[in-house]
C-alpha cells in the first residue's frame, strides 16, 4: 500500500462531493464460489511469491527481476485458467536508497535522530538552520489528516532560503509539502508525524516523483522536540544517499486478465497491486491481495461461472511508487473504453497479522470524502455480507491511498477491503476482532519481515470470501448501482437499434 494520498484533489472534488445514493443490487448466492476460494489456495500463491523474492534479493519491487518473475507467475496461472491476458508496459522513475539516512542536531543541544528517507528524495549532505512552516499544530488536532502545514505556498511566507523546512504530516500528500518547500528555497525537508494514535512513528512514504533535495521522515516526538527549540535556533545536518538521476528510469508492467464472457460494456475491474517495496518481499502488502484475487479468478474459471458483466482482473505495477500502474491504466484508456468501466474493487492488504475488517467508506458516512455515486452501494455489499456471517466490520476512509484512487478521480464507483497497515489497533478493535491492542495491524509493514510468516490465515479466510462474494455480486446482479438498475439503458439501446433497423426498411 502506497503512502501517497488522494490524486489530483481538484479533479476528485467534483465527483466525490456528490451523494452516493444506494440502489439495491440483487441477492446473489456466492456460496459455491466462496467454497472454492480457500486459504490453502491463497497460501499456495503466497508461497510462490515468497520463493520469487527469495530468489531475487528479497524484493518484488517494480523495476526489479523479482517483480517480473512475480508477474510471469500470475500470468501463467491466468492463461492456464482460460483468461484473455495481456501485459501493459510503462516507464516510471525507479528509486533506491543506497545508505540509511542520518540526521544530527548540532545546536543548541547535540543529538542524533532516527529518520527514514522518503521515496524519490534527492541525495545530499546539508547543514542548515531549521525553520518551521505555518500550520504546525502541537498538540495535534483530534482528527488525523487535518494538519495543514506545508500544503500551500502561503505556509512558507517569510521562509528563509537556505534553511531546512520543518513540516508536520497532515492534510495533503508528502510530495506537495516537499515541492512547496523546494519552491520556497529549502535545502532539505523534515516531515514529522502528525501525533495522533497510529501517527507517531516514522512517516516514511513516497513523494510521487523525484525531488533534488533531501527529504526525511521523523517521529512526532522528535519533530515536536525540534519545534520547541526553534525560538532559540536549531541547526541540523542531514545526510542522504539515494540512486542518481541516471538510475531513475525503469520499465514495469500491469497485468490485465479478462473473462471471455459477460457484457464488456459494463466491465467490473477487480484489482490490487503486485509490487512490493524495495525493502522487503511484500507478502502481506500486497501479496495477500494479489493472491486472493488470483484465487478468485481461478475459482471462477474452475466453477465455469459465466458473469453477466465482464470481469477484468488487474495486477498493478509501481503502486508503491505512487499508484503509478493504476494511474497509467486509467489515464491511457481511451475515453470510450473508460465509460465501459462499471466499477472497481480494490484489495490491498487482506492478511494483516493483527487484522481488522475495514471496508472502504464509499458513502462517506464515517469520513470525508464519499466516493462517486455507486460507491455507497458497493460498501453495503461488503457490510451486509459480513453482518450475514456474524462478523463485525467498520468503515475506513476513502483517501485515495491505494489503486482505487485513479478510478474515483474520474467518477468510477469503487470499493474494497483492507486489514490495516501501520495504524495501531485500539482496545475497542481488539475486543471486536481479537488480536492485540496497542500494536500495529501489520508490525512488518514496508519492512523486510513482511514474509510468509507475516499473515493471519483467519484474515485471509474471511476477507477472501468477502472479496469473492462482492466480485460475484457485481458480476452477476441483474439490477445495478443506479436508479435504472443498469438494465433500462440496455433495453432502451436495444429498442433504439431495433427501431433504426425497422425504419431503414
The span from the CA of 148 to the CA of 137, in Å, is 9
* pTM of the model as a whole: 0.83
Rg (the chain; Cα; Å): 23
Listing from the earlier edge strand, what are the strands of the sheet with 394-396?
Answer: 84-93, 249-258, 309-316, 263-273, 341-347, 414-418, 358-360, 394-396
Tracing cell 458483466 back to the chain, one arrives at: 309
Listing from the earlier edge strand, what are the strands of the sheet with 188-192?
Answer: 111-113, 97-107, 235-242, 124-132, 164-168, 188-192, 215-218, 116-117
The span from the CA of 175 to the CA of 388, in Å, is 42
C-alpha cell at 408: 474515483
- pLDDT score at 365: 93
Average predicted confidence (pLDDT) for the chain: 90
The span from the CA of 242 to the CA of 114, in Å, is 17
- pLDDT score at 208: 85
Instruction: Give the pLDDT band of residue 12 (cuts 50, 70, 90).
Output: very low
Mean pLDDT within 79-86: 98
Domains and CATH numbers, the chain: 9-94+249-489 (3.40.630.10), 97-246 (3.50.30.30)
Tracing cell 531546512 back to the chain, one arrives at: 164
Going from the C-alpha of 348 to that of each of 36, 189, 464, the distances in angstroms are 21, 29, 12
Going from the C-alpha of 295 to that of each of 56, 255, 300, 357, 442, the distances in angstroms are 24, 15, 9, 20, 22
More confident of the two residues 58 and 3: 58
Is pLDDT of 11 > 50? no
Q: Alpha-carbon torsion 349, 297, 39, 358, what sign?
A: positive
CB 372 within 8 A of CB 411: yes
Mean pLDDT within 344-373: 95
CB 249 within 8 A of CB 90: no
CB 351 within 8 A of CB 47: no
Active site residues: 319
How confident is the model over 18-70, as pLDDT tens digits?
333 344 688 899 999 999 999 999 999 999 999 999 999 999 999 999 999 99
The span from the CA of 79 to the CA of 98, in Å, is 38
Please, which residues have CB within 8 angstroms of residue 105's CB and are 6 or more apart in sequence? 111, 112, 113, 226, 234, 235, 236
Tell me the DSSP string of 198-249. Answer: T-SS----B-SS--SS-EEEE-HHHHHHHHHHGGG--EEEEEEEE--GGG-E
- pLDDT score at 214: 97
Instruction: Give the pLDDT band of residue 485 (cuts 50, 70, 90).
Output: low
Chain centroid offset of residue 128 CA: 35
The span from the CA of 418 to the CA of 398, in Å, is 11
10 Å CB burial of residue 381 (0-12, 13-18, 19+) is: buried
Nearest partner of 138 among 200, 201, 227, judged by Cα: 227
- pLDDT score at 24: 60
HEC string for 285-319: CCHHHHHHHHHHHHHHHHCCCCCCEEEEEEEECCH
Going from the C-alpha of 96 to that of each of 56, 209, 441, the distances in angstroms are 15, 13, 26
Counting residues of the chain whose pLDDT is more than 90, the rounded percentage is: 80
Mean pLDDT within 84-110: 93
10 Å CB burial of residue 38 (0-12, 13-18, 19+) is: middle
Tell me the DSSP string of 378-437. Answer: HHHHHHHHHHHTT---EEE---S-STTHHHHHTT--EEEEE--SSSBPPHHHHHHH-S-T
Mean pLDDT within 165-184: 96
Q: Alpha-carbon torsion 17, 420, 293, 279, what sign?
A: positive
Peptide bond into 286 cis (omega under 30): yes
The span from the CA of 322 to the CA of 120, in Å, is 10
- pLDDT score at 317: 98
How confident is the model over 212-268, as pLDDT tens digits?
999 999 999 999 999 999 988 899 999 999 875 445 578 999 999 999 999 999 999
CB 374 within 8 A of CB 413: yes
Tell me the DSSP string of 253-293. Answer: EEEEEE-SSSEEEEEEEEEEE----TTS--TTTTHHHHHHH
CB 375 within 8 A of CB 363: yes
Amino acid at each position: 500500500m502506497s503512502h501517497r494520498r488522494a490524486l489530483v484533489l481538484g479533479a476528485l472534488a467534483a465527483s466525490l462531493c456528490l451523494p452516493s445514493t444506494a440502489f439495491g443490487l440483487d441477492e446473489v448466492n456466492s456460496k459455491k464460489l466462496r467454497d472454492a476460494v480457500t486459504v490453502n489456495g491463497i497460501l499456495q500463491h503466497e508461497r510462490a511469491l515468497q520463493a520469487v523474492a527469495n530468489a531475487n534479493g528479497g524484493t518484488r519491487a517494480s523495476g526489479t527481476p523479482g517483480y517480473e518473475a512475480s508477474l510471469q507467475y500470475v500470468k501463467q496461472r491466468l492463461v492456464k485458467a482460460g483468461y484473455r491476458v495481456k501485459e501493459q508496459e510503462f516507464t516510471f522513475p525507479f528509486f533506491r536508497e543506497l545508505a540509511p539516512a542520518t540526521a544530527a542536531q548540532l545546536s543548541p543541544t547535540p543529538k542524533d535522530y532516527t529518520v527514514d528517507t522518503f521515496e524519490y528524495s534527492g541525495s545530499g549532505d546539508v547543514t542548515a538552520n531549521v525553520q518551521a512552516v505555518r500550520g504546525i499544530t502541537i498538540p495535534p488536532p483530534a482528527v488525523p489528516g487535518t494538519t495543514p502545514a506545508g500544503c500551500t505556498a502561503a505556509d512558507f511566507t517569510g521562509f528563509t532560503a537556505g534553511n531546512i523546512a520543518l513540516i508536520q504530516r497532515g492534510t495533503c500528500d508528502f510530495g506537495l509539502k516537499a515541492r512547496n518547500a523546494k519552491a520556497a528555497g529549502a535545502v532539505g525537508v523534515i516531515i514529522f508525524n502528525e501525533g495522533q494514535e497510529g501517527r507517531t512513528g516514522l512517516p516514511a512514504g513516497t513523494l510521487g516523483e523525484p525531488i533534488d533535495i533531501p527529504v526525511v521522515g521523523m517521529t512526532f516526538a522528535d519533530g515536536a522536540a525540534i519545534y520547541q527549540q526553534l525560538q532559540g535556533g536549531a541547526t541540523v545536518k542531514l545526510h542522504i544517499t539515494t540512486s542518481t538521476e541516471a538510475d531513475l528510469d525503469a520499465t514495469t508492467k500491469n497485468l490485465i486478465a479478462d473473462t471471455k464472457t459477460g457484457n464488456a460494456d459494463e466491465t467490473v475491474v477487480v484489482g490490487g497491486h503486485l509490487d512490493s517495496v524495495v525493502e522487503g518481499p511484500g507478502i502481506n502488502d500486497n501479496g495477500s491481495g494479489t493472491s486472493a484475487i488470483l484465487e478468485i479468478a481461478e475459482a471462477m474459471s474452475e466453477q465455469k461461472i459465466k458473469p453477466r458483466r465482464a470481469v477484468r482482473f488487474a495486477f498493478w505495477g509501481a503502486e508503491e511508487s505512487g499508484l503509478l500502474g493504476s494511474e497509467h491504466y486509467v489515464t491511457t484508456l481511451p475515453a470510450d473504453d473508460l465509460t465501459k468501466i462499471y466499477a472497481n474493487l480494490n484489495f490491498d492488504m487482506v492478511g494483516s497479522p493483527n487484522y481488522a475488517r475495514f471496508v472502504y467508506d464509499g458513502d462517506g458516512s464515517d469520513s470525508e470524502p464519499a466516493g462517486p455515486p455507486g460507491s455507497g452501494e458497493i460498501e453495503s455489499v461488503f457490510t451486509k455480507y459480513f453482518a450475514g456471517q456474524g462478523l463485525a466490520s467498520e468503515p475506513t476512509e476513502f483517501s485515495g491511498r491505494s489503486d482505487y484512487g485513479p478510478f474515483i478521480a474520474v467518477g468510477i464507483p469503487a470499493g474494497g477491503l483492507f486489514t490495516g497497515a501501520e495504524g495501531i489497533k485500539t482496545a475497542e478493535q481488539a475486543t471486536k476482532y481479537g488480536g492485540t491492542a496497542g500494536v500495529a495491524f501489520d508490525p512488518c509493514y514496508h519492512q523486510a519481515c513482511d514474509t510468509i510468516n507475516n499473515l493471519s490465515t483467519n484474515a485471509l479466510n474471511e476477507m477472501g470470501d468477502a472479496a469473492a462474494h462482492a466480485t460475484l455480486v457485481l458480476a452477476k446482479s441483474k439490477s445495478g448501482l443506479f436508479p435504472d438498475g443498469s438494465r433500462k439503458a440496455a433495453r432502451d439501446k436495444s429498442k433504439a437499434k431495433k427501431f433504426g433497423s425497422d425504419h431503414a426498411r
